[in-house]
C-alpha cells in the first residue's frame, strides 16, 4: 500500500485530511479514489492504515482504521553534518540520507564552502518524498543552516557522543576499523568540495573528534556522506 505524509496524524486520530500537495499526489499521481486503502505516516513514529472517504478538488478525507507506533530504527542514532554543496548534489544527499534513516541532518557552512544556496523548504519536500518511498515512520530532523564552528560547539554539549570527521589523512582511522559502542549517538562531519581547512580539523580534534578515512579514493561530498552512513550502520 502507498504511503502518504500526514503530519496531523496522532494516536487518537479518527478522520484526517491530507494537505494540499499530498491530496494532489493521491488524486492525480496515484489516481486513488474513495474506498481505497492507504498508509499514513506522520514522520514522528506513527503510521496508520486508512480508507479514503472523499477525494475531490477540495481535499482528501481519510478514515483512520488502525494506528501503529513504530520503534525508531537504530540508524536514527546517526547525525550527519554536511557542508553545503551544489543544490542538485545536496538534493541527492538529503534524499539518500533519508532513505538510510539517519536521525538528523545538519547543513553547515565551512571555510571552503563555495555554495550559498540552502533551500530548506525544497529539501524538506525531498525528504518527505523519500520517507514515503522508503515506507518509513521517522523523518530525519533537518536542522537550520549553521556554521561549522557552531556545530562543533553544539556537539561539545554532548560529551557522550561519538564524534567523527571524515577526512582523508595519513593519521585518519579507517572507518571499517573503528571500535564503537553500539549504544551511543554518532555525529559525523562531511566537508565541502574543497575539503576542511587545517584550522577546522584542529578545532575538531580539540573537541574530541576522530578523523576517519572512508575509502582509498577521494569521494565527492555526497558520496562520502552516504558511504559514511552505510559503514556506521554496521556498528549499530
Residues found near ligand SAM in the complex (CB under 6 A): 166-168, 190-191, 193, 195-196, 213-215, 217-221, 224
What's the gap between Cα 114 and its chain centre? 23
CB of 177 to ligand SAM, least distance (A): 13
Which residue is it, cell 523548504?
121
Q: Are strands 78-83 and 210-213 parallel, antiparallel or unpaired?
A: unpaired
- The contacts of residue 54 (CB under 8 Å, 6+ apart) are 34, 60, 61
Diameter over CA atoms, the chain: 62
Residue among 131 and 226 whose Cβ is closer to ligand SAM = 226
CB of 92 to ligand SAM, least distance (A): 14
Residue among 2 and 193 whose Cβ is closer to ligand SAM = 193
Neighbour-count burial of 121, counting CB atoms closer than 10 A to its CB (0-12 exposed, 13-18 middle, 19+ buried): exposed
Residue among 64 and 84 whose Cβ is closer to ligand SAM = 84
Residue among 43 and 191 whose Cβ is closer to ligand SAM = 191
Q: Which one, of 106, 110, 104, 109, lies nearest residue 43 by Cα?
A: 104
CB of 168 to ligand SAM, least distance (A): 4
Q: Which one, of 233, 104, 77, lies nearest residue 160 by Cα?
A: 77
Please, what's the b/e burial string for 35-69 (b: 16 or more CB within 10 A of its CB; e: otherwise)? Answer: ebebbbbbbebbbbbbebeebeeebbbbbbeebee
CB of 149 to ligand SAM, least distance (A): 16
Residue among 5 and 209 whose Cβ is closer to ligand SAM = 209
Residue among 41 and 113 whose Cβ is closer to ligand SAM = 113
CB of 219 to ligand SAM, least distance (A): 4
CB of 84 to ligand SAM, least distance (A): 12
CB of 118 to ligand SAM, least distance (A): 17
CB 46 within 8 A of CB 69: yes
Which residue is it, cell 541532518?
105
Residue among 133 and 207 whose Cβ is closer to ligand SAM = 207
Amino acid at each position: 500500500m502507498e504511503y502518504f505524509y500526514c503530519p496531523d496524524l496522532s494516536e487518537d486520530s479518527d478522520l484526517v485530511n491530507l494537505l494540499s500537495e499530498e491530496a494532489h499526489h493521491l488524486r492525480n499521481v496515484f489516481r486513488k479514489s474513495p474506498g481505497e486503502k492507504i498508509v499514513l505516516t506522520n514522520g514522528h513514529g506513527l503510521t496508520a492504515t486508512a480508507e479514503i472517504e472523499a477525494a475531490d478538488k477540495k481535499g482528501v478525507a481519510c478514515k483512520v482504521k488502525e494506528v501503529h507506533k513504530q520503534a525508531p530504527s537504530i540508524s536514527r542514532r546517526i547525525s550527519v553534518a554536511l557542508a553545503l554543496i551544489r543544490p542538485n548534489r545536496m538534493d541527492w544527499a538529503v534524499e539518500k540520507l533519508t532513505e538510510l534513516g539517519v536521525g538528523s541532518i545538519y547543513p553547515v557552512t565551512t571555510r571552503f564552502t563555495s555554495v550559498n544556496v540552502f533551500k530548506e523548504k525544497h529539501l524538506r519536500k525531498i525528504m518527505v518524498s523519500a520517507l514515503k518511498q522508503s515506507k518509513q515512520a521517522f523523518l530525519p530532523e533537518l536542522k537550520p543552516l549553521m556554521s561549522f564552528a557552531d556545530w562543533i560547539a553544539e556537539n561539545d554539549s554532548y560529551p557522550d557522543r561519538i564524534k567523527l570527521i571524515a577526512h582523508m589523512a595519513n593519521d585518519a582511522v579507517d572507518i571499517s576499523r573503528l571500535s564503537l559502542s553500539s549504544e551511543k549517538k554518532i555525529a559525523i562531519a562531511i566537508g565541502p568540495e574543497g575539503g576542511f581547512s587545517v584550522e577546522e580539523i584542529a578545532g575538531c580534534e580539540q573537541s574530541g573528534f576522530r578523523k576517519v578515512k572512508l575509502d582509498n579514493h577521494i569521494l565527492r561530498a555526497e558520496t562520502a556522506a552516504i558511504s559514511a552512513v552505510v559503514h556506521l550502520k554496521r556498528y549499530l
